[in-house]
Structure formats: structure tokens, C-alpha cells
Amino acid sequence: MNLKHLFSKKEGARLTPELRARIQASFDHAAADEEHFPSTIDPRIYHVKLIREHLGELRGRRVLDVGCGKGRFARIFREQEPEAEIWGLDISEEMLRHVPEGIRTRAGSMTELPFEDAFFDGAYATESLEHAVEIDRAISEICRVVKPGGRIAIIDKNAEQWGRLETPEWEKWFTRRELERLLQRHCSEVTSRFISYWEDVEPDGLFLAWLAVK
Ligand SMILES: C[S@@+](CC[C@H](N)C(=O)[O-])C[C@H]1O[C@@H](n2cnc3c(N)ncnc32)[C@H](O)[C@@H]1O
């Protein structure tokens, strides 16, 4: 394994304006690629189910999808609970164009969230934190905008599996302990587990879910 790609080895990396513009341009371009960046996801997939279970009751609650892309997760939660107030935040305005009506969108970076403290009842991020570059800052921001007692779910890839997929040079994957430690700075309860797309299929070690209560 090439250790330089592990999160701990990239801890000092900075999201400079140049790098931010490059990441944004890359995802603006990727938005046209519906095959690799789909607008929908099968609601039976375990990632969806686990986030929903962790967030709990959504009716009347305000929830943020961090790095929402085309809003494939937000779309399902909104369909499941039309009385939830779902927001999607993404660095790419081209991605946000695909987010369905009824979901509030905001363009911006998760390292500098354009929301006041404790604005949300819960937040989740699926395969987006890996692109944030300043991971500790993104985690503080996500935790800052969630109310005390609110729920946070992060699904991302396991650093120990680095090399399994092609990745842009800014991408980072995480070990369980790395993200647990960052979340523990702001949250009272933090757990992590391996997951697969299907609940009855043994996880192969690629995907991890971190679940926290602020
Ligand atoms: C692999 S896609 C995942 C999208 C969505 N979460 C999903 O599961 O369908 C990663 C997303 O993160 C967004 N992103 C990358 N860096 C970001 C940042 N600093 N702040 C907010 N969004 C970011 C990208 O524009 C892209 O839409």
C-alpha cells in the first residue's frame, strides 16, 4: 500500500483557492457523466437505510446532505418524508442543477459551511468528505452546524483499501480510528462499522460508516 495517500500522511494538505477551483471544475465536468455520477440510487441499498435509521424521525426536521452531488440520497429521504426540510450543499453548481425540486440547495465548501451554528437537526455525507482536503476543518464545520443531540452519519472509503479504485490526487480515504478521533472532538457518541451495499452481503472492507451523536 502506498502510505502517502493515507489521511494521516496528508493531514497538512490545504484547500488552496487553486485546488478548490480545480476540484470544483472537475465535478462540474463530472456532472454530465450520469453513468459514474448517477442522480438516483436504489432506496434498498444499505447506505441509504443506515443513514435513515441513524437520523431517526425526519418529519419537521432540518437535515443537511454535505457534498450532496445530484442529491440521490436527499431525493429518497424527501420522498420518504415530504415534511422533512432537506438541504443539499455542494461545491459544484453543475451537480446542484440535478437536485430535485423540494430540496433546498446551497453552493459552497464543506470546509466553510454557509450556515449558522446548530441550524440542522442532523447531517450526513456520502463519499464526499474524501474530497474535502482539509478533513479536520470539514468535520468541525459539519459538527458546528448540527444541534447538540443531533445525528451525523459519514460514509466513505477505508484507507486500508487504498489503491482499489482510481482516485484524483486530492482524494483521501480514512481509517476507522482517524475519523472516530476527529468526530470525538465534537460529538459525545461515535461508532464506526464496515458496510456493504446490501445488508445481507458481508462487507468487503471498502466502505466504512461513522455514526455520531453531537
Ligand atoms: C463522489 S460525489 C458524491 C455525491 C453524493 N454525496 C452521492 O453520494 O451521490 C462527491 C461530491 O462531493 C462534492 N465536493 C467535493 N469537494 C467538496 C467540498 N469541499 N465541499 C462540498 N462539496 C464537495 C463534489 O462536487 C461531488 O458532488
Q: What pLDDT digit, counting tens, does each position of 123-178 carry?
A: 999 999 999 999 999 999 999 999 999 999 999 999 999 999 999 999 999 999 99
Residue 205 lies in a domain: yes
Q: Answer whether residue 88 is part of any domain.
A: yes
The phi, psi pair for 112, rounded to 5°, reads: -155, 70
Residue 176 to residue 183: CA distance in whole angstroms: 11
Q: Is residue 186 part of a domain?
A: yes
What is the distance between the alpha carbons of residues 153 and 138, in angstroms, rounded to a whole number?
13
Distances (CA, A) of 86 to 112, 126, 206, 209: 19, 15, 28, 21
CA 168 to chain centre: 17
Q: Whose CA is nearest to atom 18 of ligand 1?
A: 109
Q: How many domains does the chain have?
A: 1
What is the distance in A from the centroid of ligand 1 to the CA of 31?
A: 11
Q: Is 105 in the pocket of ligand 1 (CB under 6 A)?
A: no
17 domain-assigned: yes
Q: Tens of pLDDT along 62-85?
A: 999 999 999 999 999 999 999 999
Give the ligand 1 atom nearest the CA of 27: 25
3 state DSSP class of 182: helix
Residue 95 falls inside a structural domain: yes
Calculate how far, in angstroms, residue 127's C-alpha sits from the geometric centre of ligand 1: 7
Is residue 39, in this structure, part of any structural domain at all? no
Instruction: Please tell me if the CB atom of residue 92 comes closer than 6 angstroms to any atom of ligand 1.
Output: yes
Give a yes or no: residue 40 inside a domain: no
State in Å: Cα 7 to ligand 1 middle. Answer: 17
Q: Which residue range forms the structural domain that includes residue 198?
A: 3-33+45-213
**Mean pLDDT, the chain, whole residue set:** 95
Whether the Cβ atoms of residue 73 and residue 88 lie closer than 8 Å to each other: no
On the 0-12 / 13-18 / 19+ scale of CB atoms within 10 A, 3 is: exposed
What's the CATH code of the domain at 157?
3.40.50.150
Shortest-distance atom of ligand 1 to CA 28: 25
Rounded to two decimals, the pTM is 0.95
Q: Reduced to 3 states, what is the DSSP secondary structure of residue 16?
A: coil
Query: CA 127 from chain center: how many Å?
Result: 5
What is the reported pLDDT for 12?
77
Residue nearest to atom 1 of ligand 1 (CA): 127
Contact (Cβ atoms closer than 8 angstroms) between residue 108 and residue 128 = no
Q: Is residue 103 part of a domain?
A: yes
